[in-house]
Structure 1
Amino acid sequence: MTSPTPPAEPQFADRTYRSTSALVCGVLLLTLVVVMAGDALLRGDGQAPWLALAALLTAVPLIVAFTLRPVVSVNDERIRIRNPFRTIRLPWAEVADVRAGYSSELIAAGGTKYQLWAIPVSLRDRKKASRAAGRAPHKDAYGRFSPGAGTGADAHRHSAPPVAAADQTIMELRGLAEKAGDPAGGTTTSSVRWAYEVIAPAVVGVVLFVVLWAIG
């Protein structure tokens, strides 16, 4: 009796992309909100504890959604985009393009656009990269580096024009999409799931805050 053939393993494990600055801001904001609301819960009078609870229910999910939650994870079969309120899963065959203008976005084969919240575009980084590229050594028509560029490995190391971090990530994702093979044997299907675990408590907090404001 022959044993069943195990499913093919991805060529590489999931690679994840997320914003470090967003993670830091999220932790700081959560700490600030919890400290302030916690003080009102413990020491507040009248409706203050209830208002603090409503603020926690509203603010904490939203802070988590916009700072800690966004992440893009990829492997050789698919890309998974976790945005503040949705999680999008697409096989590479259904990805028409990945680009970065003023924001990073993925274009599905049907024309649908999905923002990549985990890969924010920094115009400041782009300006720094452009200035660095202008100072970088370049080859002339004969393949020689400009004066002061150094020789050998040092010149080759500096020959590649620097790019902003977001643009570098977008180029990596575009390369993965272009290298994806024929999807006929793939098992990944596209899906879009709403993050009700984030939406529900935020809505409850807003409703509680409105009710308390109306009866107060």
Structure 2
Amino acid sequence: MDSSSVAGATVFKARTSRWFTGLAVLVTAGGLASVVATDGPAGLLTAWPLLGIAYGGWWLFWYPAVLVAEDAVSLRNPLVTVRVPWNALIDVDTRYALKLVTPSRGYTAWAAPAPGVWGTHSGKVEHLTNLPSTSYGPGGSVRPGDLKNTDSGHAAYLVRSRWQELVETGRLDVDRPEKAQRRWNLAPLAAGVLLVVATALTFGVIS
């Protein structure tokens, strides 16, 4: 898992994000080197599809994140960022991925998928102890997606820990609930569209 603090917020990213992003960049770098070796520097003018590979890796794997801040938790997905104020949160689910549930609907985090078979079986005792109280089901059971060694579980641990702290210290104004806010990630979307257009021009799809 990859979590860090930026501007007062804890930023979580999937543990595989840097590997997939790095792989995309390496493929792009190798492709660009091949283009230059074959066609010279002028060949870079037609290398937009290769740049699209690197950009796609960054956009799909490195850009998505879960941001746990003082006033809200935000899910930064490739297309949309959702900001969920703490007093709008009513449940945290990890069945398929980290999911923040509000009175109106649930919002799923691209950056925190639930584990597969390997992630489930690699769990240890320390991964299911000392979790926030809302992590446990009947009889103290723990869902595989709540294990701290998984992406969904570690992200859920960060969210639930902060949420529980706010509840126990009486800092949530439940009588004045706010609504979750959704906004399109316009800058990454615009950059993606430009790369698609440049690629189409390269292959003569657009004349």
Tell me whether the two structures share a fold, i.e. TM-score over 0.5. Answer: yes
1:34 pairs with 29, 33, 45, which one?
29
Q: 1:32-84, CA deviations, whole angstroms, 9 ceiling, x for partnerless residues?
A: 21331354256427x9544312431x323321111111221213421122112
1:106 deviates by 1.6
User: How many Å apart are 1:168 and its aligned residue?
Assistant: 4.5
Is 1:126 aligned with 2:120? Answer: yes
Alignment match of 1:102 (pick from 92, 96, 99): 96
Counterpart of 2:128 in structure 1 is none
Code of the residue aligned with 1:176 in structure 2: it is: R
SS state at 1:73 partner = strand
In structure 1, list runs of 5 or more residues that go unmatched. 1-12, 134-159
Match of residue 72 from structure 1: 66
State the TM-score, normalizing by the size of structure 2: 0.67
Structure 1 pair 211/93, CA: closer, same or farther in 2 (3 Å)? same
- Inter-CA distance 80–70: structure 2 relative to 1 (3 Å threshold): same
Of the three residues 189, 196, 206, the one matched with 1:206 is: 196
Among candidates 16, 33, 57, match of residue 21 of structure 1: 16
Asked if the contact 1:97–1:108 (Cα under 8 Å) also holds between the matched residues in 2, the reply is: yes
Aligned length: 174
Residues 168 and 31 of structure 1, relative CA distance in 2, 3 Å threshold: closer
- RMSD, aligned CA: 3.5
2:108 corresponds to which residue? 115
Larger radius of gyration: 1
Matches within 5 A, 1:103-182: 103-111=97-105, 113-123=106-116, 124-129=118-123, 132=124, 163-165=147-149, 166-180=152-166, 181-182=171-172
The 2-side partners of 1:110 and 1:76 are apart by 22
Contact 1:51–1:212 (Cα < 8 Å) also in 2: yes
Q: Which structure is higher in strand share?
A: 2
Distance 2:179 2:199 in 1: 40
Post-superposition offset of 1:195: 1.8
- Higher RCO, Cα 8 Å, sep 6+: 1
Per-residue deviation, 1:177: 3.0
CA shift in 2, pair 1:189/1:108, >3 Å: closer
TM-score if structure 1 supplies the norm length? 0.64
- Which runs of 5 or more residues in structure 2 are unaligned? 1-7, 126-140
